[in-house]
Structure 1
Amino acid sequence: MKFYKLVKYDIKNGIERKWHMYFIASILCIIFVAAFYFNISRKVDISGEAELFTITNIFFFLFQGKEPFSPELGNAFVFPVIWLFIFLFSAYITLDYPFRNLTEQGIYVITRIRNRTYWWFSKCIYVFCSTLLYFFVLYFTVWIFCRVFGINISFQFSEYINVEILNMELASVTRKQVIMVLMVLPVMTSLAINFIQLFLGLFIERIYCFLITTFILFASTYFQTPVLIGNYAMVKRSIFCVEGGMTIACGVLINISLVVLCIIIGARRIKKYDILKKNS
């Protein structure tokens, strides 16, 4: 079996047969966005004070995350449920197929291609494509919602909505910085998390991989540190919102480095991976 056929096989079995998961993600995204929109409609006059309300404000809502926690203030810590769902659901979608495939028909496939590295690279492409498709579905769903309700499609945004509703005051940002914070970094962070999960699957059971992913994301909401990569996907942890916050350059560099390391080390590990022992 040639490499491109293996990739085609993984895309068909790993993505096409899971179309319902992306559909569920789209429906839940609509529910989140609709709740936010109608909540705003009750509190402010969107055609008046917040006339610059745009699709970008919705993206700020989805990827706002959580401001750095300060125990000395005495406030209870509240997890950013929607932010956590977005990244956990992406990880969940990519969790099952690669190693379920290895324990079923994947053994026959590896035997045919006689190259375990091809198998690994194909699974990496699957995770990459699945993650990109997942975020495309989310962004496209928001775009459709905005078209239906007449919300402006623009990278400009209402500072009033951000400050009064989201409790998020941004420093002056350019359009390029907005795109990086709301589109590039969330996708790259999700890719890094999903690749870490794929890599860990070469050593431990899938359920433990997902538990580690969950721990990383939950810990990221509580601690502001470059080590916990979830911080790079939260607007409220960016340098534009908080002093000493996460920078775009650092987020891009660390996420890319993690993905590359997972691919390279995973390619070496798969050569020594005991498939028969895994299935016993």
Structure 2
Amino acid sequence: MRGTDTAFRQMLRHDMAAGLGRAWFFYIPLILAVFFSMAAFYRLGNALMEEAFQPTFADYLLEFFKGMKIYDKNRQEPFRIPSMFILFHLYMAFLVARYPLSDLSGFGRQVILHARNRAKWWNAKVVWCIVNAAVFYLIVLLMAFLFSLAAGRLSAELTEAVNLEVSEVDTSGLDTGLFFLLALLLPFVCSAALSILELAVSLFSKPWCGFVAGAVILALSAYFCHPLLMGNYQMVLRSRAVSFGGVESLYGFLLALALLLLAYFAGRFRFSRYDILV
């Protein structure tokens, strides 16, 4: 037991170092994208608002995580892909496709052969997926904090006028707690579940297949507002609390938990029979 615990700690430390610490430069594009997105929001607000534009910390987060309105093809409106939403989640999927399985050609394979316990390798990679998702959201939080400090107000309260005129989101029915649940907690849980699903799919096929699966879910979620499409729970504008016909947040948590458990055990089962010497 002690040997397997040591193997897990070794692999987890290795994953944090190799997949995060020594791969820090992979997060630079994300930092730049978030920066330019929030800068564009500030410029737009200054152009639209007659009074002094001072968005709060929460306003910056809403703009970034709002996603897109429910698409209704009967209204003959153009389908506009929420570019920042897609890029944020696709880049997260790219990093999941890039690192975990590539570890089998190096340190990970050595530890597995030495400890003879594949479950520890899988568990370490699952933890890495969750931490990687957390880093993405922390970067957005940090950038929103800096922007609200330098070009706005450091407040967790939403500004209804800013939200409606600039972000085009009616937040009159949102209190602070519900907003942070819809904008941060639920999307993060969904991102963690989708990352583990991508990793599991990659074991049954190839890393790029897991990436494609995640991209398809995002694309379908943008076009269809359906409770079984995970991406809808990652957009504030798709919530029932904001839009008529939106999805229920409780179902999102249940779906994410079910998907996470299914992906975890399916991936663990598959890896127990995976040929690591190929």
Q: Same fold, TM exceeding 0.5?
A: yes
Q: TM-score, normalised by structure 2?
A: 0.93
Deviation readout 1:75-101 (Å, 9 max, x if unpaired): 110100011111111111222111111
* 1:218-257 paired onto structure 2 within 5 Å: 218-257=219-258
Cα distance in 2 for residues equivalent to 1:56 and 1:7: 34
Cα distance in 2 for residues equivalent to 1:74 and 1:244: 18
Secondary structure at 2:30 match in 1:
helix
Q: How many residues align?
A: 273
Secondary structure at 1:170 match in 2:
coil
Cα distance in 2 for residues equivalent to 1:249 and 1:134: 23
| Aligned twin of 1:195 | 196
Cα distance in 1 for residues equivalent to 2:198 and 2:156: 33
8 A contact 1:60–1:235 mirrored in 2: yes
Q: What is the Cα deviation at residue 46 of structure 1?
A: 4.7
Gaps of 5+ in 1: none
8 A contact 2:173–2:242 mirrored in 1: no
When structure 1 is superposed on structure 2, of 242-251 and 60-69 the one drifting more is: 242-251
RMSD of aligned Cα (Å): 1.5
- Could you list the runs of 4 or more consecutive aligned residues of structure 1 that deviate by over 4 angstroms after TM superposition? none
Q: TM-score, normalised by structure 1?
A: 0.92
| Aligned twin of 1:143 | 145
| Aligned twin of 2:83 | 81
Q: What is the Cα deviation at residue 111 of structure 1?
A: 0.3
Distance 1:42 1:171, change over 3 A: closer
Q: What is the Cα deviation at residue 106 of structure 1?
A: 2.5
Cα distance in 2 for residues equivalent to 1:114 and 1:247: 44
Cα distance in 2 for residues equivalent to 1:131 and 1:46: 37
* 1:131-280 paired onto structure 2 within 5 Å: 131-149=133-151, 151-276=152-277, 279=278
Cα distance in 2 for residues equivalent to 1:46 and 1:60: 20
Gaps of 5+ in 2: 1-5
Q: What is the Cα deviation at residue 182 of structure 1?
A: 1.2
When structure 1 is superposed on structure 2, of 249-258 and 211-220 the one drifting more is: 249-258
Cα distance in 1 for residues equivalent to 2:58 and 2:143: 13
* 1:6-21 paired onto structure 2 within 5 Å: 6-21=11-26
Cα distance in 1 for residues equivalent to 2:134 and 2:124: 15
Cα distance in 2 for residues equivalent to 1:78 and 1:205: 31
Q: What is the Cα deviation at residue 274 of structure 1?
A: 2.0
Cα distance in 2 for residues equivalent to 1:270 and 1:140: 36
Percent of matched pairs sharing the same residue: 25
